[in-house]
Amino acid sequence: MFTHPLGVEGAELRPLEPWQADEFLAHMDRAREYAGARNGLPDVVRDPAESRAFLQAYAEKQAADAGRLYGIWRDGTLVGGVLFRTFDAARGVAEAGCWLEPSAVGQGLVTRACRAIIDWAFTERGLRRVEWHVATDNAPSIAVARRLGMTREGVLRSAYVHRGRHLDMELWAVLAEEWGERGE
């Protein structure tokens, strides 16, 4: 089994797969209020069928080389995740994202997990650009983009609808040559 230690005691990154639907749903239940304030994921994973369908969709994306999904475990409990929401090897561009439940906030887990998947995308897959799309009021996610050395490229006005609200979306990105300059 693939696991990647995150440099924090008991924390690791692993693929998140359809057979883990019950564990994923339990995690979403713990994360629902916190993550749902900024992220639409808890709104689409509300029962066992939706949990399995979401994980199956990402398994199919991975099989098509169009996306990837990883869980963050702390002491054997799923506490968050990172993903390539989109992954286009032909164009050399992917969009990364993340979420956490409250028990895992402030431990550096998302930043470390994102570094691992972005490094893989650049060094193993040869991508040229990794993007980060974030609502302008999502300060924690913007802080992750900054810690990853991304550059804010602009604001897409009224580009994201979350729970009936039209939000502005910031576009952040890091290029392969910038990643290498930072020694990642």
- The domain spanning residue 119 has which CATH number? 3.40.630.30
Per-residue pLDDT tens over the stretch 138-172: 999 999 999 999 999 999 999 988 888 899 999 99
User: Amino acid identity of 87?
Assistant: F
Mean pLDDT of 88-117: 97
Three-state DSSP class for residue 46 = coil
Contacts of 38-44 with C-beta under 8 Å, sequence gap 24+, read 38/135, 38/137, 38/138, 38/140, 38/141, 38/162, 39/97, 39/99, 40/162, 41/99, 43/163
Give the DSSP letter of residue 76. T
- The pLDDT of residue 184 is 47
Cα distance between residue 20 and residue 182, in whole Å: 35
- The pLDDT of residue 1 is 60
In the block, tokens 């290498």 appear at 180
Cα distance between residue 96 and residue 178, in whole Å: 16
- The pLDDT of residue 20 is 98
Mean pLDDT of 66-86: 97
Q: What is the average pLDDT score of the chain?
A: 95
Cα distance between residue 18 and residue 15, in whole Å: 10
Per-residue pLDDT tens over the stretch 14-58: 999 999 999 999 999 999 999 988 889 999 999 999 999 999 999
- The pLDDT of residue 183 is 44
Cα distance between residue 125 and residue 92, in whole Å: 9
Tell whether the model's pLDDT for residue 182 goes beyond 60.
no
User: How large is the angle between the packed helices 21-36 and 48-63, nearest 10 degrees?
Assistant: 100
Q: Can you say whether residue 166 is alpha, beta or left, with left for phi > 0 and alpha for psi between -120 and 50 degrees?
A: beta
pTM of the model: 0.94
Q: How many domains does the chain contain in total?
A: 1
Q: Both tokens of residue 36?
A: 């749902």
Domain containing residue 106: 4-181
Three-state DSSP class for residue 168 = strand
Tell whether the model's pLDDT for residue 102 goes beyond 60.
yes
- The pLDDT of residue 123 is 96
- The pLDDT of residue 181 is 65
Cα distance between residue 85 and residue 90, in whole Å: 16
Cα distance between residue 52 and residue 46, in whole Å: 10
- The pLDDT of residue 179 is 95
41 within 8 A of 47, measured Cβ to Cβ: no
- The pLDDT of residue 180 is 74
Three-state DSSP class for residue 104 = helix
